[in-house]
Chain A
Amino acid sequence: MKRLFAALFCLLLLPEPGARAHPHVFIDAGLTLLFDRQGRLAAVQVFWAYDEYTSLLQLEDMGLDRDGDGVLTPDEQRELAGYDTNWVDGYEGDIYLTHAGAPISLAGPIEPGARLENGQIVTWHIRPVINRLTPEENHVEIKVYDPSFYVAYTVDLGVRTSGREGCDTAKLPADLGKAYDLVEELLYGPSAASDAGEDNFPMVGEHFADTITLSCVPGS
């Protein structure tokens, strides 16, 4: 009977993915993969559409759209552009690319822009690929995520390619059930206590990320 109670407590109390686990900001991301004349992957243009609540917070913070009509003046649009590309050291822009499993280094953001669309702030910027590469079949993988999972990304604005024919992208959805299991495991599992105190919250963002794969027909 005692065992039963113990199991019962665990069942009742365990499924708690931590106070900081769940995201506070939701972003719909979109990507345009930019190729150069040689057909190499040269840069990624990143689009972020913030949820309406975060957008409203940001607008009020910056004192924009005072009349609340959801339309920014050209001046306000200029002011908003680039507000989210002034990155602190160590921030990697929440986009991670690999080529045949090795990380692809990206330069910092350039050419930022922003607009307000149906209550959502949509921003964009370009991340040049430092060593341009020729994508082979299925070997370029892209994930969009915040490691700390403060921001939850979905790549719902679409992935496009530009500057080259014969390339295709596919999206492999994240296994959310597995991701939540991992959060519980890291927070309350047997190994949880050992690394408690190292971090505010385990870096689980990656496990919530869809995987985008890029495949190009060789020589196209």
Chain B
Amino acid sequence: MRPWLLIPVLFTLAVLAWLWLGGGFDRLMIWAAEGQRSFQNSMARALRALRSGDPGALTALLAVCFAYGFFHAVGPGHGKVLIGGYGMGRRVAMLRLSVLAVVSSLAQGVTAIVLVVGGIALLELGRRELETITEDFFAPASYAAIAAVGLWLVWRGARRLWRTTGHRSLPWRGDRAVVHPEHAQGLAHGHGHGLGHGHKHAKSDHSACAHCGHAHGPTAEEAAAVRGWRDAVMLVGAIAMRPCTGAVFLLILTWRMDILASGIAGTFAMALGTASVTVAVALASVGLREGALAGIGQGAGARLAVPVMELCAGGVVALVAGQLFMRALA
């Protein structure tokens, strides 16, 4: 039991409760909408300055794009839900989840670039068609993928819960694959992973395949590592599948204005702006999870808390994304 670790958790909860009960979220939304409006105007000004060859216009555009991405992510943006839910539901090192957040945002930007450059250059699509494709195809596809990730978390949480509550694990897995009570120890342990861990995943993924027929099979650690690597790909893929409409507009606009290179740079700046919010959410979610678990300590409570958290987080992600998916389809 480390009660002091509960302090940041309680603090975060208090801030959230204050925001929630005091109407702070509404103010946040209003602030985000107003921010988006003013940055939309600033972006137009920067683009016009860029076309007329003003020095410093590119810097201005990148700054505005970053801010636009930030405000966009504070408002809507499912990437945040997914990253936050994943951070709460799965034990992920903070650094790794932050890297995932940045990579998925950048990948989202790449999708927009591929869509627009491909759409305009190869298929000679117009703005309306591209907008339609974004909203009618990529958006529902992305929501569906995210809902699937949510269900995946539910499934894993349920399976662990099943095993923890008396149903012993499958013989080839061993007890270590169950709850990992040692993992519930908290932040100090979590920091040991991080980026290096991510690289190891990539390698062990290959080596696991190379040893597929080996009698011992992959160790529990390796299995967890492979799962982590697949998770990463799934997460990034699900988020990146849907290009941001704002980025699509920017790219089309700069293409028309013959300053596409600046548009591409701006798209990445936008992605980083979005990532700054998702990274914050990632850090908060991991912090909450680790802090809460550490506060509970080990034993039966922790053994239940881990799968229950995973199940709940997955359920919420699946529900929210599922609804967005249904709406996007209609």
Chain A nearest Cβ from B193, distance in angstroms: 22
Query: In the complex, what distance in Å separates the CA atom of A164 from the CA atom of B69?
Result: 48
Total interface residues in chain B, CB < 8 Å: 66
Which residues from B are CB-within-8-Å of A180?
Answer: 25-26, 29-30
Which residues from A are CB-within-8-Å of B27?
Answer: 177
CB of A187 within 8 Å of the partner chain: yes
> What is the total of A-B residue contacts with beta carbons within 8 Å?
150
Residue of B17, B41, B292, B328 near A200 (CB, 8 A) is: B328
Residue of A22, A53, A61, A176 near B41 (CB, 8 A) is: A53
Query: In the complex, what distance in Å separates the CA atom of A63 from the CA atom of B223?
Result: 57
Total interface residues in chain A, CB < 8 Å: 49
- Dominant SS at the B interface? helix
Asked if A196 and B45 sit within 8 Å, CB to CB, the answer is no
When A19-B78, A52-B45, A53-B44 are in contact, do A9 and B312 touch as well, CB less than 8 Å? yes
Residue of B16, B308, B328 near A12 (CB, 8 A) is: B16
CB of B37 within 8 Å of the partner chain: yes
Asked if B127 and A57 sit within 8 Å, CB to CB, the answer is yes
Which residue numbers of A lie inside 8 Å of B, CB to CB?
1-2, 4-6, 8-13, 15-24, 26, 51-57, 60-61, 68, 70, 119, 152, 176-177, 180-181, 187-188, 192-193, 196-201
29 contacts between A and B (CB under 8 A): A2-B304, A2-B305, A6-B312, A9-B312, A11-B20, A12-B284, A13-B81, A13-B320, A15-B29, A16-B76, A16-B77, A17-B75, A18-B76, A19-B77, A19-B139, A20-B327, A23-B33, A24-B249, A57-B253, A61-B127, A68-B48, A68-B51, A68-B52, A70-B48, A119-B44, A152-B37, A176-B26, A188-B320, A196-B327
Which residue numbers of B lie inside 8 Å of A, CB to CB?
13, 16-17, 20, 23, 25-30, 32-33, 36-37, 40-41, 43-45, 47-48, 51-52, 75-78, 80-81, 84-85, 88, 127, 135, 139, 245-246, 249, 252-253, 256-257, 281, 284-285, 288, 292, 296, 301, 304-305, 308-309, 312-313, 316-317, 320, 323-324, 326-330
